Amino acid sequence: MPLFDYTGYKPDGSNTSGVIEADGPQDAASSVRALGIYPKDVRTHADKVSWKLSSNDAALLPAVTRQLSTLIAAGVPLLESLKSLSDEHSGFWKSMLVNIRENIAGGASLSRALEVEKRIFPDFYINMVAAGEQSGRLGSVLENLSVFLEKQDAMRSKIRSAMIYPLFMSVIGFVVLSFLFMFVLPKIVRIFENTKNALPMITRILIAISSLFVNYWWALLLLAAGLFYGFRKFREKNPSAIDRMKLKMPGDLLQSLYYGRFARTTAFLIAGGLPLLRSLELSARAIGNIVLQEKIMSAATMVAEGSRLSTALSGFPSVLLQLIATGEKSGTLAEVLNRAAESYESQFERKVQKALSLLEPSMILLMGLVVGFIVLAVLLPMFQLNQLVK
């Protein structure tokens, strides 16, 4: 069970505090009263590890939404559905679901209860749940939310999977080259340093690099850490500059991802019954690029003033704008945006596969050039020594 900190007054009027285990805040307050203490404040235990949000906890949102939608669709009351979910989960999710159930039992709506947990539930999720409660279609809204979140999670998984191989190759290459320059090459180049003959330029460069790794490895680590810290600070202070660079990547790789995300999110929100302006605002926050976010918010302002969305989205692809214009005229904007999202997501997957197919031989070629440089730098002095011996 979750732990709760409480402060209160004893029958003699003195202050007291402690920790108590209960299913929720109301149960905790009742348990404190049962001890003969008048509760002044009851809150979640600050040292409770299960309330620390991790990436694994956030990743469970699609699965929990799917489970809740299934229970609601089967006719199980909301409070009982939340009770079943809290019994099935543990740690962070158990504590959070118990707290949500307690708030609903106290008279709050589900959307209001979710607002307390904005760390895990994004704004569009809360707005969709509120729209579902108002229209009486909470079950179908939760079903649509689960499908939408599962698609987003699948896309993130594809991106992570695509990055595994190049990262693995980069790490292995760095480790191997560091080992060669720090432990293997110093023993070989020591032979050449003791000779009085002039060494080839390529060998002198190899000796300098090896000496740098051996004598100043700590400076290289500090330089790498400084570059990483400097990049993070620059990204924090100039996020728009970084996002603008992302839009200019070769092959428009990330543009397809962003446009597909915008189309998918906007279509989902409009189909869920949210007004166009609110849908644009929420999709702008979810797109993941500040430059495009500002363009969408500017378009939302123009739409509020009477413009069409297809004419307000300046800088977006002409094909997407034409599709939006068609959807506006026919009243099928959500359906058209969904088709556009599928097209852009397919484009993104093809571009990622093409980039990986080019990246693999490029990395192999780079490693081959480095190894060839090392071999040539070692063999040239040997050939010179052989000529001298003859």
Indicate the pLDDT class of residue 257, thresholds 50, 70 and 90.
Answer: confident
Give the per-residue pLDDT at 46. Answer: 47
Give the per-residue pLDDT at 49. Answer: 38
Give the C-alpha separation, 21 to 49, whole Å: 14
CA-based torsion, 131, 134, 137, 143: positive or negative: positive
pLDDT at 226 over 90: yes
3-state secondary structure string across 61-116: HHHHHHHHHHHHHCCCCHHHHHHHHHHHCCHHHHHHHHHHHHHHHCCCCHHHHHHC
pLDDT at 72 over 50: yes
Give the C-alpha separation, 336 to 100, whole Å: 36
Residues in contact with 136: Cβ distance below 8 Å, sequence separation at least 6, in sequence order: none
Give the per-residue pLDDT at 50. Answer: 40
Cα dihedral 30, 36, 37, 42, rounded to 10, equals -20
pLDDT at 13 over 80: no
Give the per-residue pLDDT at 223. Answer: 92
Per the CB < 8 A criterion, the answer to whether 295 and 314 are in contact is yes
- β-bridge partners, 234: none
Q: What percent of the chain has pLDDT over 90?
A: 12
Average pLDDT over residues 148-175: 83
pTM reported for the whole predicted model: 0.69
Give the per-residue pLDDT at 373. Answer: 87
Give the per-residue pLDDT at 104. Answer: 86
Give the per-residue pLDDT at 3. Answer: 62
pLDDT at 361 over 90: no
CA 222 remoteness from chain centre: 28
Mean pLDDT of the chain: 82
Average pLDDT over residues 111-140: 84
Task: Supply the DSSP symbol for 50.
Answer: G
pLDDT for 259-273, tens place per residue? 988 998 898 888 888
Specify the higher pLDDT residue, 289 or 56: 289
Give the per-residue pLDDT at 1. Answer: 53
Give the per-residue pLDDT at 149. Answer: 87
pLDDT at 197 over 80: no
CA 105 remoteness from chain centre: 33
Give the per-residue pLDDT at 21. Answer: 66
Phi and psi angles of residue 5, each rounded to the nearest 5 degrees, phi first = -85, 140
How many C-alpha atoms does 268 have within 13 Å on its Cβ side? 28
Specify the higher pLDDT residue, 215 or 382: 215
Average pLDDT over residues 44-63: 59
- 3-state class (DSSP) for residue 5: strand
pLDDT at 336 over 90: yes
Average pLDDT over residues 76-99: 86
DSSP for 320-369?
HHHHHHHHHHHT-HHHHHHHHHHHHHHHHHHHHHHHHHHHHHHHHHHHHH
Q: First CA to last CA across the chain, in angstroms?
A: 85
Indicate the range of 21-30, 170-179, 208-217, 286-295 predicted with least confidence.
21-30
Give the per-residue pLDDT at 165. Answer: 79
Select from 26, 23, 223 the least CA-distant residue to 107. Answer: 26
Strands 38-44 and 3-9: antiparallel
Sheet containing strand 3-9, strands side by side: 15-21, 3-9, 38-44
Indicate the range of 44-48, 92-96, 117-121, 195-199 predicted with least confidence.
44-48
Indicate the pLDDT class of residue 51, thresholds 50, 70 and 90.
Answer: very low
List Cα–Cα distances, 61 to 24, 121, 122, 295, in angstroms: 21, 8, 10, 29
How many residues in the chain?
390
Give the per-residue pLDDT at 118. Answer: 79
Indicate the pLDDT class of residue 57, thresholds 50, 70 and 90.
Answer: low
Residue appearing with tokens 């069409």: 308
